[in-house]
Amino acid sequence: MDHAFAFEAGKKKGLINSLGEVIAEPAYDQIGFFHQGHAPVRLNNLYGVISDTGKLRIPIRYDEILLDGEANLLFPVKKNNYWGFCTLDGAEQIPCVFDDATPFHEGVAGVKIEGEAWRYIDEKGIVLFSSSKSNSDEPQVFSCDRMLVEVVKGSEFEDGLYGYCDKSGGLVIESRFPFAADRFYCNRAHVRSGGKFGVIATDGRFVVEPKYARIWAYDQSMAVAMLSESHWAVINDYGKICFDHKGSDLSGPRHGYFRSSLSETKRGVLDLDGAVAVPHGQFQSFFWGDMLVASVRDENNCFGCIDLRSRRQIVDCIYSHQVSFRGEIALVPRTPNSGEKVWNYVNRDGIVVYTFKRA
């Protein structure tokens, strides 16, 4: 959940908190999205990192910074066209000597030197293993101590077969799947075998036999599975059907809810038990936000917000832009459906907490 939000003044960006109080004066050309309490900031085409308290954690001196990963470890930073890793205190713990790098996941990051295979290192920069020549050249990430591996088996499988390795680089789940999830979610990965989708555990055992037309990633130990184009099921992590759904679409769960469609014009929201949380047809579409608040669009193509827990509409459908909460407040244009560049931050009660003009 975000606790700091960007605003604009005189073509510069600063930060406010959820009460509308300024915590960082407008001094930056750009402030990116927060990830685990930190966001990239840009000034004069160089980047640093700011915290959600307004403190500059990494000095503005890098060509690029990646924050998608584990904020308590190291950030990939680019300087003079080479990548390395920096701590939140601004110290370059791993020198900028690589042509490419990925963020850390479960204590492992990928690094690459042009013309060589991807190497996977720990937070001390020690190489754990390198990709084999038969692996895909795309870097992968660890989840549940497993990383996706592609092995080319010949012309019969143009895209290769997929399995998973551990942090030594050793194959622990044989490369036998024409499709496998890019990572494990809730200790489960959806795979394709024999033309159908099933689910495996981290030891490679099928916990859901391959019998579905499609399965999506797990969240909260639940996943959406497709039986046919108009028949869906929500299954638990051992394949038990929690409830089924007949309609044109079903997605989720996210924040404990599923987005469902009976038709192109009848969309609604279901809870984890399959009960209707928002009636189908009340809104034209839903866009998930944070804090169990969904942005909604009505038949007039205007946007507002509903609180999924209370089922209460907290922002009326009067805005021309999607109203998306990233924490306790959301950014909306001040005058509905106007072309002016004055914007408000509103809280979950629809009350304006801060107003500013965009350049």
Least trusted range by pLDDT, from 52-56, 194-198, 227-231, 298-302: 298-302
Least trusted range by pLDDT, from 67-71, 92-96, 215-219, 234-238: 67-71
Question: What is this structure's pTM?
Answer: 0.85
Assign 43 a pLDDT band (cuts: 50, 70, 90): very high
Q: Which of residues 157 and 170 earns the better pLDDT score?
A: 170
pLDDT at position 134: 46
pLDDT at position 304: 85
Average pLDDT of 330-353? 77
**Is residue 158 predicted with pLDDT exceeding 60?**
no
pLDDT tens column, 274-313: 999 888 887 777 766 665 778 888 888 888 888 888 888 8
Assign 194 a pLDDT band (cuts: 50, 70, 90): very high
**Is residue 352 predicted with pLDDT exceeding 90?**
no
Q: Which of residues 178 and 335 earns the better pLDDT score?
A: 178
Average pLDDT of 186-203? 96
Mean pLDDT of the chain: 88
Q: What percent of the chain has pLDDT over 90?
A: 56
∠ Cα 272 277 281 (to 5°): 130
pLDDT at position 150: 84
Asked if 192 contacts 177 with a C-beta cutoff of 8 angstroms, the reply is yes
Residue 268, phi then psi, degrees to nearest 5: -150, -170
- The CA distance from 69 to 73, in Å, is 9
- The CA distance from 91 to 74, in Å, is 10
Average pLDDT of 112-130? 93
350: left (phi > 0), else alpha (psi -120 to 50), else beta? left
pLDDT tens column, 250-282: 998 988 899 999 988 788 889 999 999 888 887
pLDDT tens column, 2-17: 689 999 988 899 999 9
**Is residue 323 predicted with pLDDT exceeding 90?**
no
pLDDT at position 336: 61
Assign 339 a pLDDT band (cuts: 50, 70, 90): low
- The CA distance from 31 to 267, in Å, is 34
Assign 155 a pLDDT band (cuts: 50, 70, 90): very low
Least trusted range by pLDDT, from 159-168, 226-235, 312-321: 312-321
Exposure letters 218-253 (e unless 16+ CB within 10 A, then b): beebbbbbbbeeeebbbbbbebeeeeebebebbebb
219 is written with which tokens?
A: 């969240």
**DSSP string computed for 283-313:** ESEEEE-STTEEEEE-TTS-EEEEETTTTEE
Assign 346 a pLDDT band (cuts: 50, 70, 90): confident
Assign 359 a pLDDT band (cuts: 50, 70, 90): low
What are 356's strand-pairing partners?
A: 343
Q: What percent of the chain has pLDDT over 70?
A: 91
β 303-307/206-212 pair status? unpaired
Average pLDDT of 23-50? 93
Average pLDDT of 146-169? 79
**DSSP string computed for 211-258:** EESEE---BTTEEEEEEETTEEEEEETT--EEEEEESSEEEEEETTEE
Residues 6 or more apart from 113 whose CB is under 8 A from it? Answer: 98, 99
pLDDT at position 52: 92
Average pLDDT of 181-203? 96
pLDDT at position 151: 78
Going from the N-terminus, what domains does the chain have, and what CATH number goes with each? 284-359 (2.40.10.480)
SS3 266: coil
